[in-house]
Structures are given as structure tokens and as C-alpha cells.
Amino acid sequence: MKPSRALNSPVLFGKPWLLSLIPLLERRGFNTAKVLQGLPNFSGEVKTADYRLTHLQVQQLLAQVELEVSDPHIWQLVAETFFQNSMSPVIELCSQSSSFEHVLKLAYRYRDLAVLNMIVLPQHSEEGVTIDLVPFSGARSKQFQASRTASCKLAVALFFTLAKQLNIDLKAWKLYLPEDVVPLPIWEKWLPIIHTRGVARITIPDQCLQARYQPNQQRFNQALYFCQLQRNAVGGPAQFERIFRWLLQQLNSGQDVSLSELSAYLNISVSSCKRLFASVGQSYQGFYDNVRLYKLLCLLELPGGTNSELASQLGYSNPNNFRRACKRWLGIAPNQLRQQA
């Protein structure tokens, strides 16, 4: 039997986020004790490196804020506070980059330090750069759904704040949100229209990528050093993105993947693989369903394709199983989904 190799569950430096969130809640009269319930005791005096949250604790925090805080602007305000107070070296790194295209590349490389609970999938398209934001955690409970909604809102808010900080005009950007994610009021002022899609997407036009800046090389190098240190320390969720991309690649080549096959690819035991998914409140099947959903949305953006053909490309031998999965994921049948697309 091959030796098992441990994969660390992702953790996050929680202090910068709590310092961005708690003062906002206190000024608005919200009960912070209720929002922080179940998390490690926190004070502003604790060292950043000593206050780490597991992925499940991050989910819990996001869900409790989403469920308990009635202010619809809260996630945009958190993102803006995070930037204004330079809560992470990745912010300084981006602010000292030579172009907005370079900013996006660095933001993606160090996404584990800022984007919570999300798989980030950038690609070039005819319109520019598209960034898909795929939540990868949680069962289908009220709390986990709230966590996924909050993750989506915060991720979008971070991208918008980054653009605003660098004087990028958002009017030509496009935003796509799942039906159950209500856009923040300020976004509806910044963007002419917000589209609906099963997975969140931001489209950035090519002209925005050409924006140029005058970086301070010394400050850039200093920020880069600390980004590398932090990323090595937290063991972030990029490993789940690696798994997501590999499963998607197998589906694209017509291969259905079992848990044992994924374990072999990761060079860990099946039980270790199960524990890895459990560390983010997920099962392998639930995670694999998210990959299938993402591929389904990509297929529906192409012309043609019967239900049987779609089912086959998603690894379903029985089209009825595909139909049931589609209704479970999106609440509608494949034919209705195709009409919407």
C-alpha cells in the first residue's frame, strides 16, 4: 500500500478580518458577541500569526454575519475597511503594481490571503478577463447557504474595491450572480445591469487591463516577501482549486472520477481524502456535484446539446439522474435552464 501524505486543512489569519468587521458592527449597534459566537476568543492585542481560523470557523463567521446583520452594505463596507487599513500585505502588493493586468495576476496568486471560501477561476474571453467565483464548502443547510452567499458578496466586494482603489471605472464591467444572492444596493449604482447566472462571474474589459501605475519597487518587494510568508503559513484553499480543476479536466475528457481515483491522484488514502473534505464541511460527492454544476453552466453557454448529451458529458449514465441533479442544484429542470441560458 502506498504511504499516505497529509494535506493540511486550510486556515486563515482571522485578525485582519475581525478588525475590519467588529468596529463596523459596533458603530451600528449590532451584538458582536452573537456574531462571534463559537469562535476563539479575540482581542485586538492578539498577534496576527496567533489568531488563525479553520475553514469551518470562517464559514461560521460568514454565516452568522449574513444571518444576524441586517445592513445590506456590510460586505462592501468590510471590503473597503480591509483595503483602507491595509489589513493584508496583498493590498500593498497590488497598490505597487505596474498595471491593472499585473494587479489581477498578483491578486490571483495570493487569493488565499483575501478571498474566503471561494474557488477563483480566471480565463481570457472575447470580452476581456472573466473571473468565476465558485463556493466550495458546506452542506445544504441554512447556515452553510448563508456562508456561501456571504462568501460571494465579499469576494465581489473585494474585486470592486480593488478596482475603485486603483481608479478603474466599473461601468463597463459585467457582474453575474446566482438568483439567491441579492446584489448590494451600491453595486446597482455602479453597474448598468446585473445578470443572473448559476455561478458568480465578473467580466473585466480589456481596456481596464491597460491602466498603468508608478510602483515603488522597494515597497513592492517588501509586500511580496510578506505575502509569500503568509501564504506558506496558512496552507490555503488553493489545494481545493487544484482538485476542482483536475476533476473538471477529467469530466472534459469523458471520465467519471471516484473517490478512490481522486485519492490516488492526491497520493493520500481514501480516509485522509474524506477528512480533507470534511475539514471544509463538505463531502466528496457534494464537491463533485459543484464541479458538475460548473461544467453544466459552461455547456449551456454553447449552442445545442440534448439532455442525454449533457448527462453523458457530466458523467451521468442515466439522463433521469442528471435531471434530478439539475433540479436539486438549481431548482429547475434542464429544459427550463436551457431556455434561461
pLDDT score of 340:
58
pLDDT score of 289:
85
Cell of 218: 522597494
pLDDT score of 193:
93
- The CATH class of 11-234 is alpha beta
Band the pLDDT of 294: cuts 50, 70, 90. confident
Q: Where are the domains of the chain?
A: 11-234, 238-340
Residues with Cβ within 8 Å of 134's Cβ and at least 6 positions away in sequence, in order, are 118, 119, 120, 121, 199, 200, 244, 290, 294
141-178 pLDDT, tens digit each = 788 889 989 999 999 999 999 999 999 999 999 999 98
Model pTM?
Answer: 0.87
At the fourth CATH level, which superfamily is domain 238-340?
Homeodomain-like (1.10.10.60)
16-35 pLDDT, tens digit each = 899 999 999 999 899 898 88
Residues with Cβ within 8 Å of 99's Cβ and at least 6 positions away in sequence, in order, are 209, 210, 211, 212, 213
